[in-house]
Amino acid sequence: MNKIEILDSTLRDGAQGENVSFSVRDKLNIVTTLDTFGVTYIEAGNPGSNPKDIEFFKEALTLNLSNSKLCAFGSTRRKLISISEDAGCLALLSAMTPSVSIFGKSWALHAEKILCVSKEENLKMIRDTVAFFHHHNREVIFDAEHFFDGFKDDSEYAISVLNVAVLAGAQVIVLCDTNGGTMPDTIRSVTEFIVKRFPTVRIGIHCHNDIGCAVANSLLAVSAGAKHVQGTFIGIGERCGNADLASIIPTLQLKLGYCCTEKDLSSLTEATMRIYDIANLIPPTDRPYTGVSAFAHKGGMHIDGVEKYPRSFEHIDPKSVGNHRRYLMSEMSGRGAILNKLSTIAPELKKSSPETELIVAKLKELEHDGYQFESADASFELTVLELLGRFKPSFSLQMYRTSGEFPSPDGKSPAWAVVKIEVNGKTETTASFGNGPVNALDLALRKGLVAFYPEVATIRLTDYKVRVLSGDAATGSKVRVLIENTDGRHIWTTTGVSADIIAASWRALRDSIEYYLLTNKLS
């Protein structure tokens, strides 16, 4: 298969995304995750930009990477000074990475209006910097910043920038759609032109997602001859983000016959979820390949088709990317969906089994009361196991009490909760303050359970939704609560229904922890 180099910029370009901030330990953990998965390069930051990156590169020297090469990132030297006077270039060299990414202006507008240098001086800055690192035996990846906009405005100058970098010793030339607004047909035609113009170096592509085309543009660049693809593993980055490598890699490898990593892709979903967890971000359910909804089926015809012939409604085998098939429970799914879903929990049950009839009847009763299990697989599994007599609760509630106060005494935690639970004949009473009664209840429950089940400390609540089921009773209406939790490896959702929002939340909170403890016992 044709080899495609993958450069992941999660730790550099990704860190520039809104609400993203990595500690040094976070960065080291992401490097380990990406190396295990097998990307070619890990662009790990700018060693001359801040103390955190300086510390990171010192720590990174101790890493024993198996598959990836670390790559430090920096700009060309500053205008009108020598390399020996440029602190940024010297810091880049001191990072001791085998590869460096150097970005330079390929759009004349940026050279003249942003850097405030002549086009000639800009070329000298690029030549001097690339030659400097080439002389010091670094593999130089030259990022031609704003290349497609520059090519549109002044193609001759944009090409001269690439030519200078190549002659100075750059081994990879990356065409950057920095503003993220270039159309796919332009990406393909320009990349094809550059590949033919510079046959002695590897041509790369770096796309931003400002018009939603970063993945498509990257794929088209590869079809035009690019051998090096940059992006971030979960698509984070400036503005609307970077090209999403977790979508690009499986498409290239599973559908187009390229080789992006020497390993299979069965660890793709796990690696993606781990990076989301380290970044403290909630993974969208509809992510291609790795999202929890990527292979989720709801319509009766879809479920029937997948059962008979998976390719009828699935473009790949979910296992090939480490994901799995899910059947969603809803009024659209019918008995067939329930039976299919039961096959993963109690495979011995048949359509004619008395237990099956009991489960179907109970689910209809719960749905009539307002429950919906479409997005609450964990509650569905617990309900079924309870009906089959295969579920023994890990704890029982003796009492809880919540209270709110406005204005709050400390101005931060306006509510508190007391919880008394029993585990194997032993009781524990705990209290906690929180941002509202549900948060206080959640914190108090976890605090009490940690004494019996220390693993509960790893659970993190990632989403909380409330849906009013009917407005007829005004503030006395029933509500449905959905709670999503993660332990950093898996995500699960539970639900509760009541006219009392605290009671509904309690049911969902209880189920979320019971499900976690149950799956831990079974694993």
pLDDT in tens, 158-210: 999 999 999 999 999 999 999 999 999 999 999 999 999 999 999 999 999 99
Query: 254 and 364: one domain?
Result: no
Residue type, 158: A
Whether the predicted pLDDT of 14 surpasses 60: yes
* Whether 173 and 227 share a structural domain: yes
Beta strands in 218-257 (DSSP E): 228-231
CATH number of the structural domain spanning residue 126:
3.20.20.70
Query: Rounded to whole angstroms, how far apart are CA atoms 130 and 124?
Result: 10
- Round to the nearest angstrom and report the end-to-end CA distance of the chain: 37
Same-domain check for residues 366 and 430: no
User: Taking all residues of the chain, what is their mean pLDDT, rounded to a whole number?
Assistant: 91
pLDDT tens readout for residues 111-166: 999 999 999 999 999 999 999 999 999 999 999 999 999 999 999 999 999 999 99
pLDDT band for 413, please (50, 70, 90 cuts): low
Q: Are 322 and 265 in contact (CB under 8 A)?
A: yes
Looking only at the bridges linking them, the beta strands covering 415-423 and 396-404 are antiparallel
User: Measured between alpha carbons, how far is 492 from 90 in angstroms, rounded to an integer?
Assistant: 48
* Residues near 82 by beta carbon (within 8 Å), at least 6 away in sequence: 128
Q: pLDDT-derived band of residue 481, with 50, 70 and 90 as boundaries?
A: very high
Distance of alpha carbon 454 from its chain centroid, rounded? 27
Write out the H or E segment, with its range, that includes residue 418: strand 415-423
Q: What is the pLDDT of residue 409?
A: 63
Lowest-confidence region among 135-139, 309-313, 374-378? 374-378
- What is residue 143's predicted lDDT score, i.e. its pLDDT? 98
Q: Is the residue at 343 inside a domain?
A: yes
SS3 of 404-469: the string is ECCCCCCCCCCEEEEEEEEECCEEEEEEEEECCHHHHHHHHHHHHHHCCCHHHHHCEEEEEEEEEC
Query: What is the average per-residue pLDDT within 496-502?
Result: 92
Displacement of CA 327 from its chain's centroid (Å): 23
Is residue 506 one of the residues assigned to a domain? no
Per-residue pLDDT at 328 exceeds 80:
no
Q: Which helix (H) or strand (E) holds 327?
A: strand 326-327
Sign, Cα dihedral of 19, 24, 30, 35: positive
Helices (H), 262-353: 268-278, 300-308, 334-342
Measured between alpha carbons, how far is residue 142 from residues 45, 173, 176, 388, 483 in Å? 15, 5, 10, 62, 46
CB atoms within 10 A of CB 458: 12
Residue 27 to residue 20: CA distance in whole angstroms: 12
Tokens of 109: 């507008």
Domain region containing 309: 296-387
CATH number at residue 441: 3.30.160.740
Beta-bridge partners for 204: 174, 228
Q: What is the pLDDT of residues 30-41, one digit of tens each?
A: 999 999 999 999
pLDDT above 80 (res 339): no
Coil, helix or strand for 29? helix
In a domain, 278, yes or no: no
Q: Is residue 301 a contact partner of residue 282, using CB atoms and an 8 Å limit? A: no
The residue from 243, 263, 283 where one domain ends is 263
**Residues 205 and 71 placed together within one structural domain of the fold:** yes
| 267/283 Cα distance (integer angstroms) | 16
Per-residue pLDDT, averaged over 478-498, amounts to 90
Q: Three-state SS for 318?
A: helix
- Per-residue pLDDT at 48: 81
Q: How far apart are CA 507 and CA 482, in angstroms?
A: 10
As a whole number of angstroms, the distance between CA 486 and CA 492 comes to: 7
Residue 329 counted as domain residue: yes
| Mean pLDDT of all residues in 320-336 | 73
Residues in the chain: 523
CA distance 361 to 230: 52
Residue 489 pLDDT > 90: no
Q: Is residue 156 part of a domain?
A: yes
- pTM, two decimals, is 0.76
| pLDDT over 80 at 451, yes or no | yes
Q: What pLDDT, in 10s, does the model give residues 463-478?
A: 888 888 865 655 567 8
pLDDT, one tens digit per residue, over 269-281 is 999 999 998 898 8
- Looking at residue 332, what is its pLDDT? 47
- Secondary element (H or E) of residue 215: helix 214-223
Q: Is the dihedral of CA 78, 79, 82, 83 positive or negative?
A: positive
Give the confidence band of 250 by pLDDT, cuts at 50, 70, 90: very high
Domain co-membership, 339 together with 202: no
Residue ending a domain, choose from 263, 287, 304: 263
Please check whether residues 85 and 160 belong to one and the same domain. yes
Report the pLDDT value the prediction gives residue 361, as an integer from 0 to 100: 83
Of the candidate ranges 5-14, 303-312, 322-331, the one whose mean pLDDT is the lowest: 322-331
Residues 11 and 53 in one domain: yes
Token pair for residue 520? 């831990």
Cα-only R_g, the chain: 27
| Residue 196: inside a domain | yes
Find, among 180, 195, 258, the residue nearest to 2 by Cα.
258
Cα gap 19→113, rounded to integer Å: 30
Report if residue 475 sits inside a domain.
Answer: no
Q: How far apart are CA 81 and CA 71, in angstroms?
A: 25
Confidence at residue 192, expressed as pLDDT on a 0 to 100 scale: 98
pLDDT of residue 320: 97
The last residue of one of the domains, among 387, 406, 435, is 387
Return d(Cα 300, Cα 316) in angstroms, integer: 20
Quick one: 344 and 406 in the same domain? no
Rounded distance between C-alpha atoms, residue 498 and residue 478, angstroms: 5
Residue 85 has pLDDT above 90, yes or no: yes
Domain count, the chain: 3
Same domain, yes or no, for 358 and 408?
no
Are both 401 and 434 inside the same structural domain? Answer: yes
Whether residue 234 lies inside any domain: the answer is yes
Q: What does the pLDDT read at residue 422?
A: 95
Tell me phi and psi for residue 389, to 5 degrees.
75, 25
Residue 71: pLDDT over 60: yes
Share of the chain above pLDDT 70, in %: 95
322 shares its domain with 244: no
Same domain, 79 and 216: yes
Give the pLDDT score at 301.
Answer: 82
Q: What is the structure's pLDDT at 350?
A: 79
* Alpha-carbon dihedral angle through residues 280, 285, 288, 294, given to the nearest 10 degrees: 140
Beta strands across the sheet bearing 479-486: 460-468, 479-486, 491-498
Q: Is the pLDDT of residue 235 over 50?
A: yes
Is residue 329's pLDDT more than 70? no
Q: Which two tokens stand for residue 182?
A: 């270039």
Distance between CA atoms of residues 502 and 495, nearest Å: 12
Is pLDDT of 330 > 90? no
**How far is CA 189 from each of CA 204, 374, 399, rounded to the nearest angstrom?**
14, 45, 68
Taking CA atoms, 176 is separated from 158, 169, 195, in Å, by 12, 19, 14
